[in-house]
Amino acid sequence: MTEENFRTDILPLKHRIYAYALSMTFDREKARDIVQEVFEKLWRNREKLHTVDNLEAWTIRICRNHILDKMKQKVPSIHSIDGAEVIQIAERSRDRLEEKDLIEKVKKIIEYLPEKQREIFRLRELQGFNNYEIQEILGLSDNQVKVNLFRARKKIKELLLQKINYGLQA
Amino acid sequence: MDSRHRALLEKYWQAETSIKEEQELLAYLQNNQNEDGELTHYFSAVETFRETKVDLSDEVLMQRLIKSGPKSRAIYRLIWAVAASIILLFGLRAIYPTSSATPGVELAANPETSQALALTSQMLMLVSTELNKMELCTYPISEFGETMDKIKSENKEL
């Protein structure tokens, strides 16, 4: 894959990778670092990318494996910050409060779910992947995906009903 | 909520909706936010999260990638080259165990061996000198024995 193809086909996936990393870490800086690290992996292996059928699903799988590896190692991600990035950090602090609220809302829902249902929730609700793509990413059967999606939504419905009945705030 | 969207919502909770039906449901709830507060909050939170964008420009990202890419590949290539050389050396060593040098030449080339050889020569020289001294010392004894033998034979003749 040429640099030009990489720019047109792979770079636009950065937002999806970020949203997925954010749903796993609930930390904007960590999610941002993960985006860069995943892209470094993709860049190094760009010659093999033309053989991949579904690039979106594949990159999310790479991202998931990368985060799971980091969680196992518990290595803090450190990278140097250049001048352009310092300006970006200052700019993004304005929207931080709104995003923090959103992250908290989603975190409450995700924490309410068991692990497998969380994975399905991230991919289906927060990423918009269909069941077949989720099977590919997680290596589950069609039935496992359907059952876990059903159970996850059932739990979310319970959570929403609880909030309506008891007047809890999300 | 109209009957169609109520049915869609029920289908959603049963996990039987398609992605397209879910998008339709979401669009309906966003346009009719007064219908069900919690439900609307849930769907809008999920949708907003889905649309979250990383504030990392393509150029910054590409610069970082271009900087990191070739360096990493060069390191990997170097590692592979060193590993291949080591394997080749071991392979040649296994095929040709004693290629040119003979054991004697190899030993002579060792400085420790030369030192040991010199020390051994000195020791042997010392032993040799001492043995010569002992031989000189035993000479009078043998002369005495010969004289005694001569006297004994003269006495027999008498």
CB–CB contact A102 B48 (8 Å): yes
- Whether residue B113 has pLDDT greater than 90: no
Residues 26 through 65 of chain B touching chain A, CB cutoff 8 Å: 37-39, 41-42, 45-46, 48-58, 60-62, 64-65
C-alpha B54/C-alpha B36 separation (Å) is: 31
Q: What class, spelled out in words, does domain A96-170 have in CATH? A: mainly alpha
Domain ranges of chain B: 3-50, 56-99, 102-158
Give A167's Cβ-side CA count (13 Å radius): 0
- pLDDT the model gives residue B138: 67
DSSP state of A74: T
CB–CB contact A164 B38 (8 Å): yes
pLDDT in tens, A71-123: 887 655 444 445 555 445 455 555 566 667 778 888 888 888 999 999 999 99
- Whether residue B149 has pLDDT greater than 70: yes
- Which positions ≥6 away from A31 have C-beta within 8 Å? A18, A21, A22, A24, A25, B54
C-alpha B11/C-alpha A90 separation (Å) is: 44
Average pLDDT over residues B27-38: 75
- Whether residue B144 has pLDDT greater than 80: no
- pLDDT the model gives residue A34: 92
**A163 vs B14, B38, B66: nearest CB:** B38
CATH 1.10.1740 fits A1-79, yes or no: yes
For residue A99, which residues of chain B lie inside 8 Å, CB to CB?
A: 52
For residue A84, which residues of chain B lie inside 8 Å, CB to CB?
A: 57, 60
Tokens in use for A4?
A: 């030009």
The C-alpha angle A53, A131, A48, rounded to 5 degrees, equals 20
- pLDDT the model gives residue B69: 59
3-state secondary structure of A20: helix
**In which band, very low, low, confident or very high, does the pLDDT at B101 lie, cut at 50, 70 and 90?**
low
Average pLDDT over residues B102-112: 68
Average pLDDT over residues B119-130: 86
- Whether residue A169 has pLDDT greater than 80: no
- pLDDT the model gives residue A97: 64
pLDDT in tens, A4-56: 888 888 899 999 999 999 888 888 889 999 999 999 999 988 888 888 888 88
**B72 vs A7, A14, A44: nearest CB:** A44
- Whether residue A165 has pLDDT greater than 60: yes
Closest listed residue to residue A110, CA positions, set A16, A168, A18, A25 = A25
For residue A154, which residues of chain B lie inside 8 Å, CB to CB?
A: 13
Residue % of chain B over a pLDDT of 70? 78
For residue B60, which residues of chain A lie inside 8 Å, CB to CB?
A: 84-85, 88
Alpha helices (H) along chain B: 3-13, 19-31, 37-50, 58-95, 103-109, 111-157
For residue B55, which residues of chain A lie inside 8 Å, CB to CB?
A: 32, 88, 91-92
Q: Which of B14, B63, B65, B66 to mutate to test the interface with A (most CBs of A within 10 A)?
A: B65
**Dihedrals phi, psi of A130, to nearest 5 degrees:** -85, 175
- Which positions ≥6 away from B58 have C-beta within 8 Å? A7, A11, A14
Domain ranges of chain A: 1-79, 96-170
**In which band, very low, low, confident or very high, does the pLDDT at A64 lie, cut at 50, 70 and 90?**
very high
Q: Is the model more confident about A124 or about B42? A: A124
B14 touches chain A (CB under 8 A): yes
A vs B: CB pairs below 8 A? 106
Average pLDDT over residues B26-54: 80
- pLDDT the model gives residue A81: 46
**A128 vs B13, B50, B68: nearest CB:** B50
CB–CB contact A22 B52 (8 Å): yes
Average pLDDT over residues B17-38: 81
- State the nearest Cα–Cα gap between A127 and chain B, in angstroms: 6
